[in-house]
Structure 1
């Protein structure tokens, strides 16, 4: 891909004009523009390597490429084993400066895609969009974070105490392999910048829903389906009974949503199933909403339609909501002003996708999310990033880091 001239970059970045004259940092803009070909080449390389959550070999391969990049920048890099089995190591890289602000960037290398996806659906560019498994969620953001560190080194900017980038390996499952590590890093930093993708057309994320996994688990009794079905206790039939109340919960919208995502029952077609389960993705704006859903499912589980079966509710907590708060709004205002210098308008919004920024906010740390390239159709074979946002977003992230280094972060709350 050909590199853009500085004049061409300014024209590209001014696609959405603002009334004020654009006054970008010329050196930073030139550096961000020049970094584009290498940035996109690295993105293509890691998108074409499968690294779905739990793919240890693929995640380790992607991690090795990223570690090499970080070490070349002079960062101190350490790998931290995941806190549960079956996950690749997490990566923590730190660069130190001469200032006071401690800045934490968080990204993740795991995707939602199964092994073999990259071979069937490799990185490709169509018009102003780049497609591929995890191109937005969130390999594009991880590459952007590393590239921002490259620009800071190139510009000899060191007016910060330290910048840490955590690249973790289990975000798509709620970070079960990283919770203790995240907590320790949050306690040792002043602000968190999250590398999740921005929502199209060009937004940062100022609120998110919480995410909890709930499972209805039914136990019955196996029996020969032809010879003695009467001796069985059909767990699958009872599961259907338990699911009868599903439409009591909303499935879409900006508030609480409860959606059935997985079902399992039976192992052979000639055996009455003795086990069945259904898993739900519950997304909530208010913490108490989770308790309301759990209470209703548990009440339903007390009554079974198939005698001899039992139903239980299992809960796997993930992320709390990222609620609207003054510290996040203050960071978004800074980002909006930086983007305006480029002649671009930065939107703000929220969605039902959870992230580590909720953990940062819960710990009282100022956090801003959605700082990766903007895109859409995440978690599907239509996932993409908008290539016209790649260089502006790199400029934005780097300039925001520089401003936080010089001016400090909003206070903890």
Structure 2
């Protein structure tokens, strides 16, 4: 689909050239200018990436998320964006979101989406930053501080050639993408508001390949939610397991989760079983995503709780699978 919007075209060109390298096809004069600017700013962008990655910003580390937000906010300020930090209520235990805007009257209104948090909390054993000169590994390098830095690199190149003049571009970098705060309506209000004022949205999280192994862009995003399974079983001495006292909570939870795997798999659907806590008694702290269990090997476990995520392409698919899970 063709569009006269220079921002969309420029961002697409930059995505292709960054992912696949230059020279894959003939570039227009404007695209060649963009590519030259990207190459010019790439060393600085890599430095910014390292600075951001070395700041731990696990979702449950609000101070770190805010620090990364402040780092990127300065970059948007330098590009002429009006920026603001959207705080979350204290009881949500989330840092908030960075919003940056340039408002104009030309072309379509573009929304760019990223996030500041990572899955790596303060106690993560993953090294923060490791580079061999060709490839970088570290906490959030791909998901998604690398994407955030590419957003800034692309916008800087577009700004250099005047392509942002008169255009409307909104950027929302959320602070709780990896573990959304609750209530969701509050956590996602800034993003929903920006989407309602936009004509097209582009997300810069990671890269993907098609079935042939070629770099590709994603034209649809799956929704995500969660599920949890709670099992309460008869307890007793382990000598009675499989008999009058039944199988216990662990076997029953395993049976149900395995039934999900055997019966529910279909295209565009995933449901990861992420944590299981089981024993004579269990406790689960949803805010910290941690659990505790007590039990003895000679006692049939009474309690089990399993939690996971659910990703689906359409609302109908999500509703159908949830119903079958129940």
> Are residue 269 (structure 1) and residue 283 (structure 2) matched?
no
- Structure 1 residue 221 displacement after superposition: 7.4
In structure 1, distance between residues paired with 2:220 and 2:79: 33
Relative to 1, partners in 2 of residues 1:221 and 1:68: Cα closer, same or farther, differing over 3 Å? farther
CA contact (8 A) 2:112 2:203 kept: yes
Q: Write out per-residue CA displacement over residues 245-266 of structure 1, whole angstroms, 9 at most, x where no aligned residue.
A: 2333355x74333332221123
Aligned mate of 1:28, from 21, 29, 34: 34
CA contact (8 A) 1:96 1:158 kept: no
**Alignment partner, residue 240 of structure 1:** 254
CA contact (8 A) 1:108 1:168 kept: yes
Relative to 1, partners in 2 of residues 1:110 and 1:221: Cα closer, same or farther, differing over 3 Å? farther
Look up the SS of the partner of 2:219 in the other structure: strand
Relative to 1, partners in 2 of residues 1:28 and 1:259: Cα closer, same or farther, differing over 3 Å? closer
**Alignment partner, residue 39 of structure 1:** 45
> Are residue 183 (structure 1) and residue 195 (structure 2) matched?
no
CA contact (8 A) 1:52 1:112 kept: yes
TM-score by length of 1: 0.59
Look up the SS of the partner of 1:264 in the other structure: strand
Relative to 1, partners in 2 of residues 1:198 and 1:231: Cα closer, same or farther, differing over 3 Å? closer
> Are residue 206 (structure 1) and residue 219 (structure 2) matched?
yes
Which ranges in structure 2 are unaligned for 5 or more consecutive residues? 1-16, 280-292
> Are residue 91 (structure 1) and residue 98 (structure 2) matched?
yes
| Higher RCO (C-alpha under 8 Å, 6+ residues apart) | 1
Relative to 1, partners in 2 of residues 1:71 and 1:216: Cα closer, same or farther, differing over 3 Å? same
TM-score by length of 2: 0.73
> Are residue 126 (structure 1) and residue 132 (structure 2) matched?
yes
For 1:353-368, list aligned pairs within 5 A. none
CA contact (8 A) 2:159 2:165 kept: no
CA contact (8 A) 1:90 1:168 kept: yes
- Structure 1 residue 42 displacement after superposition: 0.3
CA contact (8 A) 1:90 1:169 kept: yes
Report how many residues are paired. Answer: 282
> Are residue 107 (structure 1) and residue 120 (structure 2) matched?
no
Which ranges in structure 1 are unaligned for 5 or more consecutive residues? 1-8, 299-413
Relative to 1, partners in 2 of residues 1:146 and 1:244: Cα closer, same or farther, differing over 3 Å? closer
**Alignment partner, residue 284 of structure 2:** none
In structure 2, distance between residues paired with 1:181 and 1:245: 39
- Structure 1 residue 47 displacement after superposition: 1.2
In structure 2, distance between residues paired with 1:258 and 1:158: 41
Aligned mate of 1:259, from 272, 277, 285: 272
**Alignment partner, residue 70 of structure 2:** 64
CA contact (8 A) 1:101 1:160 kept: no
For 1:3-402, list aligned pairs within 5 A. 13-14=21-22, 17-18=24-25, 21-25=26-30, 26-82=32-88, 85-97=92-104, 99-117=106-124, 120-126=126-132, 128-173=134-179, 176=184, 178-200=187-209, 201-219=214-232, 234-249=248-263, 254-266=267-279, 267-270=293-296, 273-298=301-326
Q: Write out per-residue CA displacement over residues 312-348 of structure 1, whole angstroms, 9 at most, x where no aligned residue.
A: xxxxxxxxxxxxxxxxxxxxxxxxxxxxxxxxxxxxx
CA contact (8 A) 1:105 1:166 kept: yes
- Structure 1 residue 123 displacement after superposition: 2.3
Flag as ranges the 4+ runs of structure 1 deviating above 6 A.
229-233
In structure 1, distance between residues paired with 2:21 and 2:259: 50
CA contact (8 A) 2:126 2:138 kept: no
